[in-house]
Chains A and B, each alone.
Chain A
Amino acid sequence: MSVRVEDVRIRHEGRTAWRPDGVTFAVRPGEVVLLLGPSGSGKSTLALALDGLVPHAVPADLEGRVVVDGTATTSTTVARLSEHVAMVFQDPDAQVVTGTVLDEVCFGPENLRVPADEVLDRAERALRAVGLWERRTEAPDALSGGGRQRLAIACALALGSPVLVLDEPTANLDPVGTQEVYAALRAVVADGTRAVVLVEHDLDAAVDLVDRVVVLDRAGRYALDGTTREVLADRAEEVAALGVWLPVATLAALRLRGAGVALDPLPLTAAELATALDACDELPAPAAAAPTPAAAADPVVQVRGLTVRRGGRTVLDDVHLDVPAGAVLALVGVNGAGKTTLAQAVAGVVPPPRGTVRVAGVDPARTPPRTLVRHVGFVFQNPEHQLVRGTVADELAHGLRLQGADDATVAAAVEDLLRRLDLTAERDVHPFLLSGGQKRRLSVGTALVTGARVLVLDEPTYGQDRERAAELLALLERLVAEGTTVLLVTHDLQLVADHATHVAVLHEGRLVTTGPTSAVLAGTALEDAGLLPPPLARATRQVRRHPAWRAVTRLADLPHPGAPAAADRGAGATVGAGA
């Protein structure tokens, strides 16, 4: 049983570029292959080609061949192929068809006309493998995000396919959910009979599972292929230069190498980094921790005793929060902790009880929306929700026109923003046709255009690759430098460590901790709230011989010659070029 990809090029209907463009590799039984590449390089498209969905179900041209168990995918059907190659997609919600966990797992085998007894047999085995058998009578919606992805894995297992393809299975999950999914996957591959093809941006959770790595470049061409160590460690600079992200431990080591601390071999996981650091007799002192921003006299966001009840449950419980002007405050917590609810109350998206919130000098509960947008901007988790006009330029002009600005002002402001957002070429495109990263930038632009002093973003890096996330963070940093205050909800704790000045930790509707980032990360608040420390902190905390290093949480804290202390970890190219 094997899958071979032979010089495959794919072009979606209506597109001119081939993505991927000429890829060859093979997946052998029992092997875990990681597929890497920049956003838009065609990883998802290639994943769909592995079980014939491209070209059978997705309109696209396919050149070259994908051969599954000796048969070209084009000469058979998706249904036949599903017995050989099973898929797990990114969005857990988009994979649920039935109303209970058990029915969901049975759906695939039932389609294959497996007799009912055997269907149940297979379902039980698959559910036990991912630890969901006890919850079989519940609705899939009752599971956490991580639980639903484990369910998707069980569904794939129940089909009996020896090859499992997973396309960013953890992109929507909190760190604990991510770990759950990988624990389940680890159990699945443990006996060595199943092969796995994995597309994933979050390498920190996945890397110790992977046997081989295949890398595509920006144009979708086949760039690198080898064992995990050969690709991610030995050729780390090349990979970073392609704009593909690396495990945080590897990035840290590359940075240290630049500073004259050669870690050999390059570490891939937090544990390896800690061991490697301990193996050094001497380490330069880490850069001074980021200066704690002086708390401004009057906070620009004030939350006092905010309690929100939804559907009979207390979603937010007596929250008190101050955000100083010019801060970047990260709101963190597990799925369902109440982050979105708090962010929306602050921005007045869902008006909070009167007198509980003051933002930029106004009470969102008493301010009409049209006035409120001049004070606080909100960016929804899904950018498509807030795009309301037919072209990019109109979208940006919309807010200003509603404020009654004259045409010349509007035009000038729109031009300026288009340039700053790098969307000038797309000015007449329908907003929904932009790429994910472009849509996100546009939605930030619409929140900015009215001159709001406070910007609230709900999971701005959701579904984005690291490169887009870095672009966005650079944009935010420019805004903060100009005096904007930013409140952002995120699951990416390394991002928090590297970019936030303050952190607020929510747990079951209560604000358990708030304070400057370094102080919060030094304590145990994250663990207490069911989160994990940022990946770099996970490594440095295990360091024994160099106590000064145990407090390091930010990549910028690592000694690095020539790089300004504020260089962000998003600058993948800098890492590659600097080393």
Chain B
Amino acid sequence: MTRWSTRLLLSCAAIGVGGGLVGIPSFYLFTTLATAAPFLMGLAAGFYLLPGTIALAAFRRPGVGFLSTMLAAVAAAPFVPGSFTTLYGWLYVAVLLEVPFALLGYRWWRAPVFYVAPLVGTAFYTWTWWTYYDIGGYQVWAQVALPTLLLGTMLLFTWLARVVAARLAQTGAMRGLRLPEDRRRTAAAAPGDRAGTTSAEAAPALPAP
């Protein structure tokens, strides 16, 4: 199998579409908050991380977070206010999710790396929305609510995505696609762990023979 087999591509599509559809109610909430109470937007922001983080945690391969996020955007677009224009919003998330792993050379996939994106994301969105909505002119509690809610929900959804990915692995649906968690000493093209078993999850990767 090449690194981007048709199966991997379509599996990203599956996670993207699944995540995109389950999140549709949240996107409506997001749009409502974005117009009526922007400092509460954080409440509905976490869903945007879901498909990409699930894909990264599930396959542990470069690019899957980006692709799944963008496919979630494409799939959900016809059903949300703003249609295909929502793609811009997702694009930031798609890049944001990949960066921490890219900086580590896509070799190390343990929990801490997953929590970098929510932290950076909180900082980034607090800054953008602050300037966009002039949150500085709002009451103090609203100013505090913006970053707090953002951070809270983003962390929550990152955690949730990892739980879902782990449970998915138990179902055996990712046989042959999931790579080991720690690949610092092995070649990037390590074989898929077998049937996504939990043992392979815990065991440190063996050096390539």
Q: Let me know if A57 and B5 touch, CB within 8 A.
A: yes
* Least distance between B40 CB and chain A CB atoms (Å): 33
Q: Which residues does chain B contribute within 8 Å of A56, judged by CB atoms?
A: 1
Q: Let me know if A57 and B170 touch, CB within 8 A.
A: no
Q: Within 8 Å of chain B (Cβ to Cβ): is A355?
A: no
User: Taking A57-B1, A57-B6, A59-B176 as contacts, is the C-beta distance between A13 and B167 under 8 angstroms?
Assistant: no
Q: Which residues does chain A contribute within 8 Å of B167, judged by CB atoms?
A: 390
* Chain A interface helix/strand/loop/mixed: loop
Q: Let me know if B171 and A430 touch, CB within 8 A.
A: yes
C-alpha spacing A433/B196, complex, angstroms:
11
C-alpha spacing A59/B175, complex, angstroms:
9
Q: Within 8 Å of chain B (Cβ to Cβ): is A14?
A: yes
Instruction: Tell which of B5, B167, B171 has the most Cβ of chain A within 10 Å.
Output: B171
* Least distance between A517 CB and chain B CB atoms (Å): 39
The closest CB in chain B to the CB of A60 belongs to B176
Q: Which residues does chain A contribute within 8 Å of B6, judged by CB atoms?
A: 57
C-alpha spacing A59/B167, complex, angstroms:
22
Q: Let me know if B1 and A59 touch, CB within 8 A.
A: yes
Looking at chain A, what size class is its interface with the partner chain?
under 10
Q: Within 8 Å of chain A (Cβ to Cβ): is B172?
A: yes
Looking at chain B, what size class is its interface with the partner chain?
10 to 19
C-alpha spacing A13/B1, complex, angstroms:
13
C-alpha spacing A433/B169, complex, angstroms:
11
Indicate which residue in A14, A57, A390, A430 contacts B175 across the interface (CB closer than 8 Å).
A14
Q: Which residues does chain B contribute within 8 Å of A57, judged by CB atoms?
A: 1, 5-7
Q: Which residues does chain B contribute within 8 Å of A59, judged by CB atoms?
A: 1, 175-176, 192
Indicate which residue in B1, B5, B170, B176 contacts A430 across the interface (CB closer than 8 Å).
B170
The closest CB in chain A to the CB of B170 belongs to A430
Q: Within 8 Å of chain B (Cβ to Cβ): is A133?
A: no
Q: Let me know if B194 and A14 touch, CB within 8 A.
A: yes
C-alpha spacing A390/B192, complex, angstroms:
23
Q: Which residues does chain B contribute within 8 Å of A433, judged by CB atoms?
A: 171-172, 195
Q: Let me know if A432 and B172 touch, CB within 8 A.
A: yes
Q: Let me know if B173 and A432 touch, CB within 8 A.
A: yes
A380-394 contact mask (Cβ, 8 Å, vs B): 1 or 0:
000000000010000
Q: Let me know if A432 and B195 touch, CB within 8 A.
A: no
User: Taking A57-B1, A59-B1 as contacts, is the C-beta distance between A430 and B192 under 8 angstroms?
Assistant: no
C-alpha spacing A14/B197, complex, angstroms:
10
User: Taking A390-B170, A430-B172 as contacts, is the C-beta distance between A14 and B1 under 8 angstroms?
Assistant: no
The closest CB in chain B to the CB of A384 belongs to B171
Which residues of B approach A to under 8 Å, CB–CB?
1, 5-7, 167, 170-173, 175-176, 192, 194-195
